[in-house]
A and B are shown apart, each in its own frame.
Chain A
Amino acid sequence: MAPPRTCALCQTARPIVRRPKTGQQVCKECFFHVFETEVHNTIMSAKLFKPGDRVAIGASGGKDSTVLAHVMKVLNDRYDYGLEMYLLSIDEGITGYRDDSLESVKRNQQEYGLPLKILSYDELYGWTMDAIVEQIGRKNNCTFCGVFRRQALDRGAAALNVDHIVTGHNADDIAETVLMNIMRGDIARLGRCTLICTQGEDSIKRSKPFKYAYEKEIVMYAYFKKLDYFSTECIYSPDAYRGHARVFLKDLEAARPSAIIDIIHSGEAFQIGEAVELKAQQTCKRCGYMSSNDLCKACTLLESLEKGMAKLATGDRNRRRLDEEPAPENMRTIPMFHRATPAEPAAAP
C-alpha cells in the first residue's frame, strides 16, 4: 500500500488542496501561510506602505475585496504595518446586486471593526446604473460603470483623506488586461496595467496587493476561512471585450497554469517605445479630475446621459455630434474634485 501523502511544504500534515499556482499539494495551514506571506512579500518588495499611511480598501462585497480586507487586517496586525485602514464601497445603484453585496460589506465592517464609507453614483453623478441601463440598454453599460467607479473611488478616498486605495485585482485580472490591451491596441493602458501601484498627478495611489495571487486561490482562501462574501455576478451584461480575453485566458490556464503569471511577466518585461506619442495628462476643465482631454471621460459620459445621447458617448468619433447638441437646462455635472491637504481634517466616514 502506498504511504499516505503529506503536505509538500510542512511534510507532516495531510494535503487538502493542490495549489493552482504551483501545483503543490499542501495542507490547509500551509496554504493560509503561503497565501498570506506571498501577499506580504508583494507588499514589502514594492514598498507599498509606510507606517501611519491611511489606506482605503475598495470593498465591493465580492470574493476578491472580502479576502483583501481580511488579509490586509491580518498582515497589518501580524507585521505591524501601522496602517489606518478604512473600507470604501461604491454603490452603483444596481437593484438586486449591489444593494445585497453592500450588506455583506457591512457585516465585514462589523467583524473587522473598520470604518466604512459608501459613496453612491446617485449621490455623485445623479444617475444610478439602473437608470443608465434604462437609457442605453445593456450594451456598453460596463464602460459607464467602469469610468464612473474609478472616479468615485478616488473621490471617496479624497473624502476619507486617505493616501492609498488598495483594490482586489488579482493575477487573472491583470493577465486578462494585458491580453485585452494588446488586442485593442491600447498602448497607454498596456504600459501601466502591470504596475502594482499607480498614481495620477493629482490623485491618490492605487495598489493591487493581489497582483500575483491567482483567482482560484483567492476563492480557496475565502472558502477555507469561511469568509462572508457575496458571490452573485452583476446582473447587467459583462464587459464583452474583457469576456473575450477571459475565455482565452481560462483555456490557457487549463493548458499550463503558469500562463497567468507568465503573461504578467511579459507585461512587466516590455515598455512603450519612445517613438510612441501618448496624450499628456491634464485636469478636466469641468470637474478638475485627471484627464487626457479637456473633459474627463466621466464628464463626457455624464453629459451624454443628460443630453439623452449616451449611445454616442462610447466612441471618440461621435464627440462632435455630442458637442453640437445643446445642453439641457439644469444639466447635472460632477462636483469639482478636491483633494484634502494633509493639514485638513478627514471627513467622517
Chain B
Amino acid sequence: MSCDAPPSTEDLMPRRSRYDRGQTCIKCKSQRGNLVIKHTVYCSSCLPAMLVRKFRRALSTSLDPAAPSRGTPSRTPPPDVILGLSGGPSSVVLLDLVWKCFSAQGSGRKDERRQVGKVRAVHIDWSCLGRASLVESLKENCDHYGIDFTVVRGEEAFEPAWRNAVGLDGSAADAHIDLSSARLPFVPSLAGPSDPVATLRAHLRSLPTPTSVPATLHTLTRLLLLHTASSSDCSVLMLGTSLPRLSIDLLETVAYGGGFALGAEREEIVRTSRGDVKIVRPLRDWSLKELGWWLYSRQLSVPRGVNGKPTQALAPTGGKTIGKLTEDFVIGLERDYPSTVSTISKTAAKVVPAEEAAYTCAYCLRPAQKDATRWKAGTAIMSLPFLITNAATDPLTPPKTPPLPAEKGLADSLCYSCYTHLTARGGTGAGKIPALASNGGLVTLGEAGMPMPVWVQQKLTEEEMRESIGGFLLEDE
C-alpha cells in the first residue's frame, strides 16, 4: 500500500539492550554469570545441566509424548536410532550428547539410557560435487564414541544398485521427465546405464533456478538418510538441527510454497517401503550460542569447520539463492533478536495442514494437497484461447483459467514445493552456478529429459496395469 515506504537501514527494528536481568546466574542465584542466553544469565556450572535437560526434554517429547515419568521402566522396547551427521557444529554436539546421555561411559543414568536402543551414525558424502570429504574425521569421531559409522555417497540417489540394496521397488526403469511441459511427462531414457555422478550432475544442472539446487540437495540428503535408516531397521532418525537452522528451514519451506507440510520440518513420520521412520530434532531449541558454548566447554572439534557451509561449493555467482538469503536473514535475527528466531519455530508448531493430505509426494515423500500443482495455474494466465484486438471495447468471451494439458506426468504426483523447484523460473537476482555449468569432465548424458532419483518412478495407470496383465484376466461372466 502506498503509505508503506520502502524501509531504509535505520528504519528496521530497534536493537534491544542485553543483560537485562542482572549479572547473577538465574539458576543458582549465587554465582556470577558466564553466558547470556536469550537475555538470561547462566553460570558455567548450571549451564551444562540446563542444556542436557533441554536436549532430553525435546527428545522425550518427540519420541513418546505419553512416555512414563522419569525413573519408570519403559514398557515398550526402545527404538534403534540412526544419527544423521553432516559434520557441522550441531551434528558434533548431537553425537557428544547422545554419547553422554545414552552410554554407560558417558555417565547417562541407567533408566534414562533405556530411552533409545542401538545407536549408529550415517553421513551423506557429497564430495562428488566438489565438497571436501569429511568421512575420515567423522569416522574418527564416531570411533572415539564407539558408535557404528556408515557413509552413503550422494550419487547413490541415482544408483539402481543402491535402490535394490535399501529394499526399494526395483521393477521400474529409471525415470526421466520432460521439463518443457508443465505436467512434467515421463520420457523414455535414450541413454543406457550411466555413471550415477553424471546423472546427479545432470539432474542438478536441469533445475531451472539456482535456488532449486541447494533445496534439492537438502531433499536428496533427507531421502538418502531415511532410506538408509529404514533399511537398517531403525525407526528413528535423529538430526542435529539447531534452532536457527530450524527457523531457516521453516522460512525456506514457506518461501517454496510448502506450508502444507510446515509441521514436518519440526517433526515427521515418513512411511517407507520397510516401515515408518520418525525424524526427530532434539537440538531444535538450541541457539548458536549454546552450541558454541558446548563445543568450547567440551573441547570438541568440528570436521566441517565452524563456518563451513555445505552449499558453498554450489553457490551461484551474481546472486543468492532463497536458502542463502533466508540463512543470512535468520542468522542476523539470531544475533540481534534471538526471541524472534524462537518465535518462528513456535509459530510453526501451532499450525496444521488446512486439509487432509491427498497423496504422498513422489520426490520428497511428504504429504501433498489435492491439485497442489494446479493451484498456481489458477493465479496467472499463461496462454490465450483467442487473439486480443482491443480489450477495452471488444466483447470478450467469458474468461476462465485456461485448461491445463490433459497429459499425465510426474506433476500429478508431486507436492507444491517440489513442483515449484522443477518449474519456477529465476529472477533478475538468481545468478548462475559455475560448478554445475560444466559437467566436470564427465560423459554428457543423451538428450533424454531430466533424470530423476531412483525412488521416483512412473506409476502405471489402471488401464496400463490392466493391459499388462490382460492375458491372464478372465472375461466377466
Contacts and interface: CB of A to CB of B under 8 A. Distances in A.
Interface stretch (B45-53, B113-121, B293-301, B418-426): B418-426
A246 B7 contact: yes
B2 A263 contact: no
Given A251-B325, A271-B354, A263 B254 contact: yes
A230 B439 CA distance: 52
B6 interface: yes
Contacts of B321: 255
B255 interface: yes
Contact of A243 (B11, B325, B381, B389): B11
B352 interface: yes
B348 interface: yes
Interface string B401-412: 100000000000
A65 B400 CA distance: 25
B152 to A, nearest CB: 29
Contacts of A185: 343-344, 346-347
* Range of interface residues on B (Cβ < 8 Å): 35 or more
Nearest to B396: A78
Given A38-B379, A258-B376, A266-B254, A273 B350 contact: yes
B390 interface: yes
The size bracket of the interface on A is: 35 or more
A339 to B, nearest CB: 25
Contacts of A95: none
Interface of A is mostly: helix
B4 interface: yes
A182 B322 contact: no
A40 B1 contact: no
B6 A246 contact: yes
A244 B350 contact: no
B469 to A, nearest CB: 38
Interface stretch (A55-63, A307-315, A341-349): A55-63
A41 interface: yes
Interface in A251-293: 251-259, 261-263, 265-276
A228 interface: no
Interface string A39-82: 01110010000000000000011111100000000100010000
B348 A238 contact: no
B6 A258 contact: no
B244 to A, nearest CB: 13
Given A261-B257, A276-B350, 8 more contacts: A10-B387, A41-B400, A74-B392, A246-B4, A255-B319, A269-B354, A269-B369, A271-B354
15 contacts: A41-B381, A41-B400, A65-B2, A178-B254, A185-B346, A212-B380, A229-B2, A247-B12, A251-B325, A252-B255, A252-B325, A253-B427, A262-B416, A262-B417, A265-B376
Interface of A: 9-10, 12, 21-24, 29-30, 32-34, 36-38, 40-42, 45, 60-65, 74, 78, 101, 139, 145, 167-169, 173, 178-179, 181-185, 187, 190, 212, 229-231, 233-234, 237-244, 246-248, 251-259, 261-263, 265-276
User: Closest 3 interchain pairs by CB?
Assistant: A62-B2, A266-B259, A243-B7
